[in-house]
A and B are shown apart, each in its own frame.
Chain A
Amino acid sequence: QKEVEQDPGPLSVPEGAIVSLNCTYSNSAFQYFMWYRQYSRKGPELLMYTYSSGNKEDGRFTAQVDKSSKYISLFIRDSQPSDSATYLCAMKTSGSRLTFGEGTQLTVNP
């Protein structure tokens, strides 16, 4: 069983929809949680970074962490075609070694 599980999709939504992306994990030692966005032929870029349980908002993006359930989510409000990409959850205990989910491929249709 993988340490981090993420539904690979693909997920297709109309422009303006609210998108919900989720990951579950099994290692209770994970302390830091991230969401990366990866466009085709590019490297992952950091979207959100959280340490504790709760919500963190940045513009149209909201990250949620529930350590008790070992579950993290990313919500995208008013989704745009430019949001079409692969979204990767990532987490770590300490240092810089990240454990990634498989990634969810999202398409936002105009």
Chain B
Amino acid sequence: KAGVTQTPRYLIKTRGQQVTLSCSPISGHRSVSWYQQTPGQGLQFLFEYFSETQRNKGNFPGRFSGRQFSNSRSEMNVSTLELGDSALYLCASSFSGSRANVLTFGAGSRLTVL
């Protein structure tokens, strides 16, 4: 059974650019969540999608956005990149996102903003 796949694994951007990250969940999983991991703040929740609808959102500025497609694949976008956006962006999927479901994480996309 394939795990959660994130692409690209590494990328470098400059300030002011935008970036799109992709996540393919485990087959059959309909909930996809995104987290940002930095040395200072740890893992912080960005948003969750279920059946193409954003179900929950963390405390991040509007520059961070996402979407989910009908096949449950998800993308997140960060516009007008800032140096502080350098981080490991992790995607996690679960069957339904209900309280009993556990999250399975991908390996992450490491973004460096210069």
Question: Which of A's residues lie within 8 Å of B, judged by CB?
Answer: 31-32, 34, 36, 41-46, 49, 51, 88, 90, 92-103
Among candidates B42, B94, B102, B103, residue contacting A101 with C-beta atoms closer than 8 Å: B42
Are A96 and B43 in contact, CB atoms less than 8 angstroms apart? no
Count of A-B contacts judged by CB separation below 8 Å: 65
Contact with A along B52-72 (1 / 0, CB 8 A): 000110100000000000000
Are A41 and B101 in contact, CB atoms less than 8 angstroms apart? no
Expressed in whole angstroms, the Cα–Cα distance for A32 and B92 within the complex equals 17
What would be 9 A-B contacts, judged by CB atoms less than 8 Å apart? A43-B106, A44-B105, A46-B103, A51-B100, A88-B42, A95-B56, A96-B101, A97-B33, A98-B45
Which residues of B lie under 8 Å from residue A44 when comparing CB positions? 43, 90, 105
CB closest residue in chain A, given B44: A100
Q: Tell me if A's interface is mostly helix, strand, loop or mixed.
A: loop
CB closest residue in chain B, given A31: B99
Are A96 and B104 in contact, CB atoms less than 8 angstroms apart? no
Which residues of A lie under 8 Å from residue B94 when comparing CB positions? 96
Are B99 and A43 in contact, CB atoms less than 8 angstroms apart? no
State the interface size on chain B (CB cutoff 8 A).
Answer: 27
Question: Which of B's residues lie within 8 Å of A, judged by CB?
Answer: 4, 31, 33, 35, 42-45, 48, 55-56, 58, 90, 92, 94, 97-108
* Shortest 8 CB-CB contacts between residues of A and residues of B: A43-B105, A94-B99, A96-B97, A100-B43, A102-B42, A43-B107, A44-B105, A43-B106
- Extra contacts besides A32-B99, A32-B100, A41-B107 (20): CB < 8 Å: A31-B99, A42-B107, A43-B90, A43-B92, A44-B105, A45-B105, A51-B100, A88-B43, A90-B43, A92-B99, A93-B99, A95-B56, A95-B97, A95-B98, A96-B48, A98-B35, A98-B43, A100-B44, A101-B42, A102-B42
Are B45 and A46 in contact, CB atoms less than 8 angstroms apart? no
Which residues of A lie under 8 Å from residue B35 when comparing CB positions? 98
